[in-house]
């Protein structure tokens, strides 16, 4: 690859101390086409390995079961994170992928795709990012610091709440329409802000009900299998442990994805970039904590529709292209430890809110 800036785009980039969005996009314009083989093979291998390890963890005991549970969580975590790709991919770019994902991950892990589709897009809207309308944002980078451990600890209960939501509350909402709207608005989104209220389309898609009903039938099927003695109770505990581990991995990754410095005001495009983080370095733990390209979260906010398997190349091009004072360079942290330490430090009231001290409110 020729790392030198090319043509007019390079001139624009250097002249503007980092370049406009259009100039940067021109440098990576060839990286926006997803490779179906990479998507399908990556997803299917990890989903199959994850479920196989979960089954083996149920069949074994002791340290072998514990090890298999961890492997199941790591591989299923990578598989379920593809829901992030589903949100940004064109519907026709990977035929059948969404259905396969819901069957292999979304439904059995109680995170069907309708919980994320639409919710995550609001996180990318410029006038929503970092405001109360963004369900994926809380000001963790501001005092009080205790919000961080509370956030992490809450994930132990989320699988139980998901079971209650789909096994009990969902069928009740089908019978009593008075509770249906609150369920859809307040209990049907993958968000980190408990106060978040989801905006609903004028006509709720039929797919939402199908996915919801599938989760309900799945859970009641598990109850029936337990009652009939065809499924050991141990399987439920291993499944629960795998979900908690997946949630904790994602929670740590989420804390390192942004600076979380905003107190609720609308931010400029540059401030949003500076509030986002790219994780550099060659640590083997990085792809475990941030699989499917999530280590390049600032880059993803710059180019949301770029496929995950292209982000590494795009990041290398931009780092070779941009001048030392480019805002994009301020998004880079050398590792997860550095990003988390910086968040913890600022949550204690130490240091500026953003790398360039861009937060004025």
SS (H, E, C) 15-39: HCCCCCHHHHHHHCHHHCCCCHHHH
How many residues can be counted in the chain?
A: 361
pLDDT tens string 25-68 = 999 999 999 999 999 999 999 999 999 999 999 999 999 999 99
Distance, in Å, from the CA atom of 59 to the CA atom of 260, rounded to the nearest integer, reads 42
Task: Please give the full DSSP string across 205-229, using - where no structure is assigned.
Answer: -HHHHHHHHHHHHHHHHHHHHHHTT
pLDDT at 12: 40
Q: Which residues contact 75 (CB under 8 A, 6 or more apart)?
A: 46, 47, 49, 50, 53
CA gyration radius, the chain = 21
pTM: 0.92
Tell me the β-bridge partners of 278: 296, 332
The torsion of the CA quartet 153, 159, 163, 165, rounded to 10 degrees, works out to: 60
- Confidence category of residue 2, pLDDT binned at 50, 70, 90: very low
The torsion of the CA quartet 74, 328, 136, 129, rounded to 10 degrees, works out to: -160
Q: Which residues contact 161 (CB under 8 A, 6 or more apart)?
A: none
> Is residue 207 over pLDDT 70?
yes
């Amino acid at each position: 690859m020729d790392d030198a800036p090319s043509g007019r785009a390079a001139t624009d980039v250097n002249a503007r101390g980092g370049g406009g969005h259009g100039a940067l996009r021109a440098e990576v314009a060839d990286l926006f086409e997803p490779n179906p083989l990479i998507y399908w093979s990556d997803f299917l291998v990890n989903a199959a390995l994850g479920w196989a390890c979960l089954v083996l963890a149920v069949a074994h005991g002791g340290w072998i079961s514990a090890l298999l549970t961890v492997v199941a969580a790591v591989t299923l975590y990578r598989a379920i994170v593809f829901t992030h790709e589903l949100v940004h991919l064109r519907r026709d770019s990977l035929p059948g992928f969404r259905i396969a994902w819901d069957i292999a991950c979304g439904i059995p892990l109680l995170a069907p795709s309708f919980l994320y589709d639409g919710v995550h897009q609001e996180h990318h809207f410029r006038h929503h990012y970092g405001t109360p309308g963004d369900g994926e944002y809380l000001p963790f980078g501001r005092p009080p610091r205790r919000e961080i451990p509370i956030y992490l600890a809450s994930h132990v209960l989320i699988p139980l709440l998901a079971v209650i939501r789909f096994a009990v509350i969902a069928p009740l909402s089908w019978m009593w329409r008075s509770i249906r709207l609150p369920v859809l608005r307040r209990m049907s989104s993958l968000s980190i802000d408990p106060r978040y209220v989801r905006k609903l389309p004028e006509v709720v898609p039929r797919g939402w009900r199908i996915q919801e009903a599938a989760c309900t039938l799945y859970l009641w099927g598990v109850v029936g299998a337990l009652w009939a003695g065809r499924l050991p109770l141990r399987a439920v505990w291993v499944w629960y442990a795998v979900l908690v581990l997946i949630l904790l991995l994602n929670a740590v990754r989420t804390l390192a994805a942004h600076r979380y410095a905003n107190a609720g005001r609308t931010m400029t495009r540059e401030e949003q970039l500076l509030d986002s983080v790219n994780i550099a370095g060659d640590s083997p733990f990085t792809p475990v904590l941030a699989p499917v390209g999530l280590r390049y979260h600032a880059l993803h906010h710059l180019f949301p529709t770029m496929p995950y398997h292209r982000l590494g190349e795009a990041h290398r091009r931009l780092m070779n292209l941009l001048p030392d004072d480019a805002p994009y360079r301020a998004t880079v942290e050398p590792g997860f430890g550095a990003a988390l330490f910086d968040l913890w430090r600022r949550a204690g009231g130490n240091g500026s809110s953003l790398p360039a001290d861009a937060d004025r409110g």
